[in-house]
Structure 1
């Protein structure tokens, strides 16, 4: 059974925020979903823990299955100062075509970012929300 994870895309000045883990791998902010929280609540919590940013709003984009995880991907508007925290060793900002950073990403992170870029270019909206998530939670993580 695949682990359920909340994954967050935050763009700052046109670049996507990445966290560096202890092994030097670059990932999108995110992590496991606790039994007592929704996917959106987990996304907001993980974003705050790993980057110090507070999500002003979250929009569910899509689910992505990797070999070991089912990522519930959200796009966040966030405020605050981005600082590495919790299990993030450093923060990086990825611009399309940045091959050195891309080479350090997990395969799932590369795939999620490519899928995000593709849906954005095609002007597609978010996909159907995950089960149990109300529209209000999708629009505002504080709900």
Structure 2
């Protein structure tokens, strides 16, 4: 099983997704190096893919995909943070959580976002699609 650091970036009620050229949308993140703590990998991957540096990042949960264990973090970004596609990333875009299920997005991305939205809704008493 591969270990991956995956980052949920939230801004104005939207979630940041990235995509390589001709690939599905996905949450920012990547493989955790052998001796690297998951949080350090999350910060590194976010910066490498989007140019964003985060001051606050919190471990949220684990999500098991087909062959990958995602260590999911939630990042606090400044209100004026603007991601830019860097390195292998061709596109960065903010999406309303309710739109992600209908996107050409990776299966783990849709699952992680769905779980996140349900947890937020349960904690706040909102209907899941109202996030």
TM range (shorter): 0.7 to 0.9
Q: CA RMSD in A?
A: 1.6
For residue 24 of structure 1, report the CA deviation from its aligned partner: 2.5
- Structural mapping, 1:70-109, within 5 Å: 70-79=69-78, 80-98=81-99, 102-109=102-109
SS in 2 for 1:27: coil
Matched length: 122
Q: Does residue 40 of the first structure (1) align with residue 45 of the second (2)?
A: no
Separation in 2, partners of 1:35, 1:78: 27
TM-score, normalising length from structure 1? 0.79
Q: Look up the match of 2:63.
A: 64
Q: Which runs of 5+ in 1 are unaligned?
A: 125-143
- Structural mapping, 1:1-143, within 5 Å: 2-79=1-78, 80-98=81-99, 102-123=102-123
- 4+ residue runs over 6 A deviation: none
Q: Which runs of 5+ in 2 are unaligned?
A: 125-131
TM-score, normalising length from structure 2? 0.86
Separation in 2, partners of 1:68, 1:40: 20
